[in-house]
Every structure is written in C-alpha cells, then in structure tokens.
Amino acid sequence: MKTGSLYAIQQKTGALFGSCAARIGHIAAKRPALYSGLLFAVSMIPIFILGRYNVMCIDDYDYGRQIHDTWAATGSLWQSVQSAWRQSMEFYRSWQGTFVSCFLMGMCPMHFNHGAAWIVPVIMTGMFSVSVFALGRQILCGYMGVGRSESSAVLFLLLFMFYQVMEAPFEGIYWYNGSVHYVFMQSVWFLALTFILAALRAQSRTARIFLCMAASALSVIVGGGNLITGLQAQIVTAFLAVYAAVKNRGRIMAAAVPFITGITAFMINVAAPGNRQRSMLDQDVGYGAVTSVLLSFYHAAVFMIQWTPVFVILIWLALLPFLWKMMKRAEGTFRYPAWVTAGAVCLLAAMFTPTLYAVRAAGLARVDNIIQMVYYLCLFLVTAYWCGYFTHRGTRCGGGAPERETDGDRAADLLGAFFERTEGKMTVVCLLAVLVIWVGTADKNTYTSISALRSLVNGEAETFYAQSMERYDVYTDDTVSDVEVKPYSVKPALFDYTDLTTDPGNWVNLGVAQYYHKASVKVVEE
C-alpha cells in the first residue's frame, strides 16, 4: 500500500474516532449520572451472581458455633441474639475488645440457613456503596456547593473504580466475618460522619437533634468495632468538634455528643481484659508509638503508589475536565487547599498506625480494603477542592481579582482553557480506554467483575458450589464422626481463602469439626 493511501486512511480513522468521541461526549454530557450509574450497576451484576455460589468459611465457624447451636436447638431468633451477645462478652473478657464486631460476627446469616451466603455480598457492597455515596454527596453538595447530578456521576465512577481494583475482594465482599469487621464498620462510620456533617449545616433545631442522636448511636457501634475505623472516627469527630467551636459554638453539640459516645465505646474496646490476654499469647511485638506514627506516613506513600495503577489514573484523568467545570459552577469557597490535602494525607496515614503499633505490620488484606477506599475518596475530593480553588481565584479574597497572578494561576488558566476546549472529549477518550483495559485485560482475574464473570462462564463457580454441598452433606450426617472430604478441584479466583488441610489439628479443620460436632475433619488427597 502506498504511503499516501495509508496516510489518508489514518486521517479518516482519526477523524471518525474524533467525531464519535465528540458525539458520545455530547450525549454523555446530558446525563452523566445516569450513564455512570448504569456502568456501576452493570459491573456489579457478575459480582452478585457469583455470590450465589458463596459459602461459609474460616472464622465464620469459630464465631458462630454457639449461635448455630442455639438456633438448631430452639429455632428462636431472640435466643440466638442473646447467645451472640453472651459470646461477645466472653470474647471481651478472654480474646478481643471489639464487642460490637464480635456480636455481629456471631449473627452470620449462614448460621440460620446454610444456603444464605448469597446475601453477604449484597449486604456488604450495598452498605458500603450507600455510605460512600451518602458521605460523598454530603461533602460535594453540602460543603462544596456542587449540583446533585454532577456529584452522583463522580461517586458512581468512584465506586465502579474501587470495586474493580479492590485490594482483597474476597475479604471485603464474600467473607462475612472479615467484611463485617472492617467494610461494614467503615460503612457505619461513613454514615455517622454524614449525619454529623448534615447536623452542622442543618437550619432546623429539630433536624440537628435528630441527626446528632443518629450519629451518636452509630458512633457507639463504630467505637465497638475494629480499631482502625475507631481511631479514624475519633480523630475526625474531635476535629469537627473543634471546627464547630471555632466557627459556630451554637452547633458544637452536633459533633461533641457523637465524639463523647464514640470515644467512650472506643475506650471500653481498648480497655478489654481480652486484649491483654491475647497480647500475652501473641508473639508479635509492635513498634513504639512515635515509630508507628512515622512509619504510617511511609506506608501511606507506598500504598498510594500501589493503589494508583493505569486504570485509576485514566478514570482520574477522565474526571478532571468534569471536575473542573463542576467546581467552576460550585457555590462554595475553597481557601485552604494545602490544609485540606495535608489533612487527607494525615487521615490516611493514621489508618496504618494501629497495626504497626500492635503487630509491626502493614498491608493486611482485610484492613487494606477500607484504607484503599478512604484513599480514593480523598483523592477525588481533594482534586475537586483544588479545582474549586483555582476556578474561584477571583472570589476567594472576598471578591475582585487576586492580588498577584502567580505561575500556578497562569498554569491553571491554561489547564482550564484546555478542559473547556475539549468539551468532554478527553473524558470520553479516557473512559473508552478504561473500558478497553477493563474488558480486554490479558489476566481475567485482574478486575473483580471480569474475574467473577470468568468463573461463571467457565463453570468454576458451579463446580465449586456442588463440591461444597457434598461436604455439607457429610458434615450434617450424624452417622459420620471422623469426616474425610475431597479437596476442591476448582475454586473461583475471588474465593481466595484458606481451606481445610490434611491435618485434623489445623485451626481451620478444628473450627469446622467443632461447629458440626465431629471428632475430626480432614482433607484426603485423591
């Protein structure tokens, strides 16, 4: 083919792609929330369908044995709840202080119906998505003055992105015990923070009281949960109480009361006798307080880099023009971008501190899920704040032009002109690239939805579930005392958990044996 002909084809192809991008951008600009919401909803369908083949595993057995026995003996939900609370108090005295989490761990749906594991991903993703959406809308709409439709578009894309690159999908979506301790508790904290922020803005005294009461009740739940979320909650609530005292003392109770209830529950959690007994058995020794804090910033930087792959960068770039135009129309004031950025970094680093202080560890999968979401939420909100700062330069000093134009201001003008000139084309091109990477990735287990779809299409999920039901039939056979089961021939990549071993004394084997009242349980290799 001649060079001229090839050049002509390239020109036509480029023009066609540009025309398509412009048309898609024009369409997408009309209803961004609708399209981003549809993208998020479609991406969750394989995740929910795979949940049909979910099963109980690992710590679900240890924390649910007493409740399962109570339900089997009485069939009474109320007595099962009482049993769960008694077990929580036993753990409080002998093992761990997270009394609310331990209670919820005992209330696993599978203890009441073995086939109810499908509801776990619905509860965990539903609770987390709603809480992230509510908090994001409160900040964007209530404090930054952004429109509801625009903020919804950003948050739907944020949720889509998070669930595709989630650090540990099994621990955060399918495993009840692990997800209720971290993801669910973080969701409760996001809702409590939403209520506190709403109470600080509410004009009606009745609304403030109601929101404050709701936030206070949720703060107790958070304080009795995992220490990472609990510490984060106390730091943020204390800051909001100080902020309210400076800005408007009449509304300080909106933050002060949730802080008091939350810190009380948190201190009860930390002071548990079980924490001391467990620490005596644990061979791991944590860092000192100062060292833990300093290392927290180091690990925050490391994981921010790790959690910013090309997939995330493209979505961030796709949203930049949208955020710029969105914040240009926003009604808020954006005077302290450096302080907001520093606060976000400190908040993120603080989430690494408890595990460093306790066991000298960072990068625990169950914990990473919630830290990763806080990072993404901060990334988008801080970016939006900086966009608001640059687009409101003429008003941040009380009206009029800035005193002196800086190099940053000139760069912002050029960048803003570029964003406005692209008219959505940059957003569309980046999102198309995201979809190509998402669907066309070589390793089909890279992204959560694609991995779930792969396990459904190739039959792994169905085969795995059939084999798990074969095990269940043996577990519930009263004539069998020493249980021998076959290893799974296949397992969906998202169901990444520690299975039974050939050693009956293994802790996972012991948990299953005690749950079903067997003398022993082990895997027999074929």
Q: Which of 133, 179, 191 is nearest to 160 (CA)?
A: 133
pLDDT at residue 234, as a whole number: 93
Task: Using CA atoms of 502, 504, 510, 512 in order, give the dihedral in degrees to the nearest 10.
Answer: 60
Write out pLDDT tens, residues 219-229.
Answer: 999 999 999 99
Q: HSE (CB half, 13 Å, CA atoms) of 173?
A: 27
Torsion sign (Cα): 512, 514, 519, 520: positive
Q: If pLDDT is split at 50, 70 and 90, which confidence band does 143 have?
A: confident
Q: HSE (CB half, 13 Å, CA atoms) of 227?
A: 16
Report angle CA 146, 149, 152 to the nearest 5 degrees: 90
Q: Which of 378, 146, 346, 331 is nearest to 239 (CA)?
A: 346
Both tokens of 49, joined, read 């369908």
Both tokens of 231, joined, read 């510490």
Q: If pLDDT is split at 50, 70 and 90, which confidence band does 443 have?
A: confident
pLDDT at residue 408, as a whole number: 57
Q: Is the pLDDT of residue 317 over 50?
A: yes
Q: Cα–Cα distance between 384 and 381 in angstroms, integer?
A: 5
In the block, tokens 């089961």 appear at: 485
Q: Which of 367, 359, 192 is nearest to 266 (CA)?
A: 192
Both tokens of 117, joined, read 């594991």
From residue 407, give the alpha-carbon distance in Å to each of 296, 334, 388, 413: 33, 19, 17, 10
pTM of the model: 0.88
523 vs 396, more confident: 523
- Which of 312-316, 406-410, 475-479, 492-496 comes out lowest in average pLDDT? 406-410
pLDDT at residue 305, as a whole number: 94
- Which H or E run includes 509? helix 507-515
Q: Which residues contact 159 (CB under 8 A, 6 or more apart)?
A: 40, 129, 132, 133
- Which of 7-11, 164-168, 212-216, 339-343 comes out lowest in average pLDDT? 7-11
Backbone angles phi, psi at 506, to 5 degrees: -60, 145
Q: Is the pLDDT of residue 86 over 70?
A: yes
Q: Which of 166, 433, 430 is nearest to 320 (CA)?
A: 430
Q: If pLDDT is split at 50, 70 and 90, which confidence band does 417 have?
A: confident
pLDDT at residue 406, as a whole number: 62
pLDDT, mean of residues 315-339: 86
Q: Cα–Cα distance between 376 and 121 in angstroms, integer?
A: 21
pLDDT at residue 309, as a whole number: 95
pLDDT, mean of residues 205-221: 94
Rg (CA), the chain: 26
pLDDT, mean of residues 409-416: 69
pLDDT at residue 342, as a whole number: 94
pLDDT at residue 144, as a whole number: 86
pLDDT at residue 243, as a whole number: 87
Q: What percent of the chain has pLDDT over 70?
A: 89
Write out pLDDT tens, residues 249-273.
Answer: 778 899 999 999 999 999 999 999 9
Q: Cα–Cα distance between 268 and 322 in angstroms, integer?
A: 45
The count of other CB atoms within 10 Å of the CB of residue 1 is 6
Asked if residue 154 lies in contact with residue 140, where contact means CB atoms within 8 angstroms, the answer is yes
pLDDT at residue 246, as a whole number: 85
Helix (H, G, I), strand (E, B) or coil at 485: strand
pLDDT, mean of residues 307-322: 93
Q: Cα–Cα distance between 293 and 266 in angstroms, integer?
A: 19
Q: Is the pLDDT of residue 284 over 70?
A: no
514 conformational bin, left if phi > 0, alpha if psi -120 to 50, beta if neither: alpha
Write out pLDDT tens, residues 90-137.
Answer: 999 998 889 999 999 999 999 999 999 999 999 999 999 999 999 999
Task: Using CA atoms of 26, 31, 34, 35 in order, give the dihedral in degrees to the nearest 10.
Answer: 10
Q: Cα–Cα distance between 198 and 236 in angstroms, integer?
A: 15
In 270-331, DSSP assigns E strands to none
Write out pLDDT tens, residues 464-520.
Answer: 999 999 999 999 999 999 999 999 999 999 998 889 999 999 999 999 999 999 999
Helix (H, G, I), strand (E, B) or coil at 109: helix
Write out pLDDT tens, residues 231-245.
Answer: 999 999 999 999 888
pLDDT at residue 274, as a whole number: 86
Q: If pLDDT is split at 50, 70 and 90, which confidence band does 28 have?
A: very low
Q: Cα–Cα distance between 299 and 293 in angstroms, integer?
A: 10
DSSP label of 174: I
29 vs 346, more confident: 346
Q: If pLDDT is split at 50, 70 and 90, which confidence band does 31 have?
A: confident
Both tokens of 243, joined, read 């902020």
Q: HSE (CB half, 13 Å, CA atoms) of 505?
A: 0
303 vs 401, more confident: 303
